[in-house]
Amino acid sequence: MKWIFRGLLALAGLVIVLVAGFVAINWQSDIPLEALTDRWAQPPSEFINVDGQHTHIRDEGPQNDPVPLVLLHGTSASLHTWDGWTAALNDQHRVIRFDLPGFGLTGPRKDNNYTKEAYVRFVMSVLDAKGVDRFVLAGNSLGGNIAWTTAADFPERVQALILVDSAGYPFQATSVPLAFRISQTPVLNQIMKNVLPRSIVKSSVENVYGDPARVTPELVDRYYDLAAREGNRAALRARFEQLHPADDIDRIRTIQQPTLVLWGAKDQLIPPRNAELFARDLPNNEVVIFDDLGHVPHEEDAVLTVAAVQAFLHKHESQVFRNNELHTVRF
């Protein structure tokens, strides 16, 4: 019996040593905002105060555009996810994008409120601060959920809607990014307050791409640095606890604005089946499916996906939409 007891003690000691070594190697304390701005807030970035929230924003393109395009990123992303679309669009369109509270350089909310209602209020406060009355609203994943809710709440201000692999309906993921799983797992999510393995960040980004080979070291750097921004890891845990994206899906049917639904056929998080649900319930819609792209198609292949956006915006400007018809295009 003694040798069994000693063996168990030795095993426990080995586990402790391995865990301690893992924590020591992957220790990453929160990074203050000031240490991140030189790399991730280059011009045209600016910071504005929105209802007491220090907000990272980029406002590009012709400032006299009467109906700007507003872009909302998804969970654990940032305004940088729209770099490709912005570069293609800002010669003719005013493009406004910002880091939502809890993410990017905007960082956590002081009141720890990450409900969808709080996000909608924040979006409208940003646009009020910018003097924007009417706009086209686009969003990916969480950003899509916020976008369609805003369109339902403020139909007189949201002129058209672009949903990119949007949250909203219930879904069954075939694969969830590891960082998301850890953030929702008790004990582990507490350990991750000061531990951030780069391998987990890399794996999580690769998980949302149709082709993981497209994930570059610089892309991983960005997601890693902004995840470690002071307060963001705690905010992510709170966001998962508070936000229930499928709690008001009946409101989707009330949306009358012209809507473009974009989806990556290789999305493992929110399956392409959900594009069909949006198409079913949105009366003025066009659906575009990208066969080789994943959950963030706008980031994975900006050139391909923005072409559909440009065509949609051209139709919107010309007011040429065929109501109550579904037009599905595959690239």
Q: Is the pLDDT of residue 18 over 70?
A: no
Higher pLDDT, 175 or 111: 111
Question: Beta 69-72 vs 95-98: how paired, if at all?
Answer: parallel
**Residue 144 above 70 pLDDT?**
yes
pLDDT, one tens digit per residue, over 279-290 is 999 999 999 999
Give the start-to-end residue ranges of the domains of the chain: 33-330
pTM, two decimal places: 0.87
For residues 129 and 144, give the distance between their C-alpha atoms in angstroms, rounded to a whole number: 22
CATH class of the domain defined by 33-330:
alpha beta
Query: 143 pLDDT exceeds 80?
Result: yes
Confidence of residue 103 (pLDDT cuts 50, 70, 90): very high
User: For residue 329, what pLDDT is reported?
Assistant: 45
pLDDT, position 300: 98
Tell me 27's DSSP state: B
Q: What is the pLDDT of residue 174?
A: 79
Tens-place pLDDT, residues 147-156: 999 999 999 9
Q: Is 217 exposed, middle or buried (0-12, 13-18, 19+ CB in 10 A)?
A: exposed
The residue assigned the tokens 């706008």 is 298
Task: Band the pLDDT of 195: cuts 50, 70, 90.
Answer: low
Other CB atoms closer than 10 Å to residue 66's CB: what's the count?
11
For residues 331 and 87, is the Cβ–Cβ distance under 8 A?
Answer: no
> Count H helices, E strands: the chain?
13, 9
Closest listed residue to residue 90, CA positions, set 61, 132, 66, 58: 61
State mean pLDDT over 124-140.
98
Compute the 3-state secondary structure of the chain and give helix, strand, coil in percent, each to the nearest 5.
45, 15, 40
**Is the pLDDT reported for residue 134 higher than 90?**
yes
Going by pLDDT thresholds of 50, 70 and 90, the confidence category of residue 19 is very low
pLDDT confidence of residue 28:
57
CA distance to 3, 52, 94, 311, per residue, from 261 (Å): 64, 33, 21, 13
- 95: enclosing H helix or E strand: strand 95-98
pLDDT band at 3 (very low <50, low <70, confident <90, very high): low
As a dihedral over the C-alpha atoms of residue 270, residue 275, residue 281, residue 282, rounded to 10 degrees, the angle is 120
Which has the minimum average pLDDT: 137-141, 210-214, 244-248, 318-322? 318-322
* 3-state class (DSSP) for residue 69: strand
pLDDT of residue 171: 86
Q: Which residues of 20-41 are buried (b: 16+ CB within 10 A; e: fewer)?
A: eeeeeebebebbebeebeeebb
The pLDDT assigned to 241 comes to: 86
